[in-house]
Chain A
Amino acid sequence: MSLLGDRQQLSYIAAQAADARVNVELETEGMTLNIGPQHPATHGTLRIIARLDGEQVVWAEPSAGYMHRGYEKLTEVRTFPQVTALVNRIDWLGSFANEVPFILAAEKLMGVEATPRAQHIRTILFELSRIANVSLFLGDLGVQLGAVTPVFFAFRDREYVLNLIEAATGGRFHPNFDRIGGLKDDLPAGFIDETRNVMKKLRGFCDEMEDLLFGNEIFQSRTRGIGVIPKDVALQYGLSGANLRASGVDWDLRRDQSLPMAWDKVDWKVITHPDGDSFARCWVRLQEVRESTRIVDQLLDTIPSGPVMVKVPKIIKVPEGEAWVSTENPLGEMGYYVVSQNDQGPFRVKIRSASFNNISIVPWLLKGVYVPDIITILASLYFILGDIDR
């Protein structure tokens, strides 16, 4: 399986353009295809309007907003600790990871830093939510390409991770566990051993997926060379996470940014892929689950002792200032620009969610592709509706 080099990328794009030209010359009659808002391939209510010429897309536009909940407005009438309950629901498959950057931003403004133990446990839970999130992606990916089996495997193994998150935080989907200055609680007894077992199972799941899905010839022919995003386009559109790394950009905020988290204390790799096609995006995610299990395993060995919470006032008042904190969430870069005016609640919070940028490339990317590839490309870009609409 040769890698898709620049020349091949260009010839692929040129061939598509030539096809489109032929169709224009023949003056075939176009039609508008409406995908969604309720469609199995959209993980929620995203509507895609595609103008077709024969089997090819001439123009496509995602239409968001069916799930807009106005979180940026709502944060303005909440206190800082209350905001975590809101931001939990942005990317609902990896909820804990949404809380972390907001809490870090608030801590930055207050000049507070969580205890080493809290930082460690935060990182563990962060990676667990990544595993839960991305393992469901892997199963769902199969369904969207016509393979029904992987999703059962994914739901089976994700359940183990959700059980862990539930054991630690009390919530399967919306932990609301992160606090300014640390965590709500310490880990429960037996968590460490159980997590080790689950990580072993998850690595097995990754192997299974690799054999079952990624080694499958149909899967490869459906995804290889489909929806190629070159590096500079990806950066311009602000793509992040696996979508960016699959275009060959070796950039991971967990490694390249200094945050009071524990990623720098363990040994792990940033996974990239040079192709930038749908296959690369899926492959990078699969490998990242594997790396996450490694991160969790190592962190479990080195959890420092001590309290999980520093002393913070009961009524939290955040001093005046502005702070930007972003982390590498399961879907990509998730950040909060928090403006505080010495009040109990934020003055303004700009939520920079990964899927919003990741999906904004869709009109560019869908131009000239064939109808079945729309689903492949959307599946491989991987978005959560709550993360687009907020």
Chain B
Amino acid sequence: MASPPNVGVFPLSHTDTTEAPRDERREGELAALLAALGGNVADSLLKPNDDIWVRVTADTWRASAETIKSLGYTYFCFLSAIDWMPSPFGKGEDDPTQPAPERNTTITQGYTGGATRFQLLARFVKPYSSSGVNVKCDVPEDSLTVESIVSVFAGANWHERETWEMFGINFAGHPDLRHMYLPQDFEGHPLRKDFPLLARIVKPWPGIVDVEPLPGDDSEEDGE
């Protein structure tokens, strides 16, 4: 009962008997996707009993969305972006009186790889089932522009507005690219990693101050 069921240690000498779990339904779906998308696909990943990831090239973003829709993925789930740059501010818990700590600045993209700092991420689902596909795409560094998919999925309208506002990624052909949440004259893109979280900048993180232990409490309690 106590040990989590999915965590197993497999002996290395028996690698031939510990097969990776198969997921034939998703394998079939991924094969259909790859066949239909053809040269648009830059990379793909299938995690058995989990999900499918497909990364398409930036210039075919809209065409790929159309192809995916024609394969039956007619439900638009969401569209957003990921900024893969590690935050220069860390968790915002630095002591302002100390010199800034050395931080990792290498950009490592997640599943299906990639080469750019920003990646688009969208999810389309086949209705009546739980078969979905996570579609990613590199956003070109110089123009930060991809084609809008509003003409394919009308619901992408607000999502693209939000992504434009939060990440500064332009969507060519979007009918109405305005601020979604922030004032119209707001400058900056809050979800970029180099946009500081002001609350953590104006007031130093209280955790850096030495906290006196509570009376009768010797060990540090984590609470969880």
| Interfacial residues, chain A to chain B (CB-CB below 8 A) | 64-65, 68, 70, 72-74, 76-77, 81, 108, 110-113, 115, 179, 181, 232-233, 235-239, 249-251, 253, 256-258, 306-307, 310-312, 314-316, 320-324, 326, 333, 335, 337, 339, 341, 345, 348, 350, 352, 356-357, 360-361, 364, 389
Contacts and interface: CB of A to CB of B under 8 A. Distances in A.
B74 A236 contact: yes
A149 to B, nearest CB: 36
Contact of B155 (A74, A236, A333): A236
Given A73-B190, A73-B191, A251 B127 contact: yes
B157 interface: yes
Given A112-B6, A348-B83, A77 B92 contact: yes
Nearest to B220: A314
A335 to B, nearest CB: 7
Given A111-B7, A112-B6, A115-B1, A179 B224 contact: yes
B25 to A, nearest CB: 11
Given A111-B7, A323-B50, A236 B123 contact: no
Contacts of A232: 74
B2 interface: yes
Interface string B50-92: 1101000000000000000000001111101011000100011
B174 to A, nearest CB: 13
B155 A357 contact: yes
Nearest to A113: B5
B156 to A, nearest CB: 9
B77 A111 contact: no
A65 B182 contact: yes
A61 B6 CA distance: 47
A108 B190 contact: no
A341 B155 CA distance: 30
Contact of A237 (B82, B93, B155): B155
B87 A81 contact: no
Chain B contact residues: over half helix, strand or loop, or mixed?
loop
Nearest to A74: B197
B130 A253 contact: yes
B3 A76 contact: no
Nearest to B90: A77
Given A111-B7, A113-B5, A238-B77, A77 B191 contact: no
Contacts of A249: 127-128
Contact of B130 (A257, A323, A348): A257
Contacts of B180: 64-65
Interface in B69-124: 74-78, 80, 82-83, 87, 91-93, 108, 110-111, 121, 123
27 contacts: A68-B182, A72-B166, A73-B197, A76-B87, A76-B193, A76-B197, A77-B91, A77-B93, A108-B50, A111-B4, A113-B6, A235-B76, A238-B155, A253-B130, A256-B128, A257-B130, A307-B1, A311-B2, A314-B222, A316-B224, A324-B123, A326-B77, A345-B91, A350-B80, A357-B78, A360-B155, A361-B155
Nearest to A356: B158
5 tightest Cβ-Cβ pairs between the two chains A and B: A65-B181, A237-B155, A257-B130, A68-B181, A111-B6
Contacts, number: 134
A77 B75 CA distance: 32
A250 B128 CA distance: 6
A77 B3 CA distance: 30
Nearest to A359: B158
A238 B74 contact: no
Given A233-B154, A251-B128, A70 B82 contact: no
Interface in B134-190: 134, 153-155, 157-159, 166, 179-182, 190
Contacts of A258: 130
Contacts of A348: 82-83
Given A112-B7, A115-B1, A360-B155, A322 B76 contact: no
A43 to B, nearest CB: 17
Q: Chain B: interface residue count, which band?
A: 35 or more
Interface string B1-15: 111111100000000
B1 A306 contact: yes
Contacts of A311: 2-4
Contacts of A389: 181
Contact of B4 (A113, A250, A321, A356): A113
Contact of A70 (B53, B158, B159, B190): B190
Interface in B1-59: 1-7, 50-51, 53
Nearest to B190: A73
Contacts of B197: 73-74, 76-77
Question: B53, B110, B128 — which one has the most chain A CB atoms within 10 A of its CB?
Answer: B110
Contacts of B179: 65
A339 B110 contact: yes
Contact of B77 (A110, A316, A333): A333
B7 A237 contact: no
Contact of A352 (B53, B78, B83, B181): B78
A314 B224 contact: yes
A352 B77 contact: yes
Contact of B111 (A110, A111, A179, A322): A322
Given A76-B91, A236-B154, 15 more contacts: A64-B180, A108-B50, A110-B4, A179-B224, A235-B76, A250-B128, A253-B130, A257-B130, A311-B3, A322-B134, A339-B82, A350-B121, A352-B78, A360-B159, A364-B154
A35 to B, nearest CB: 18
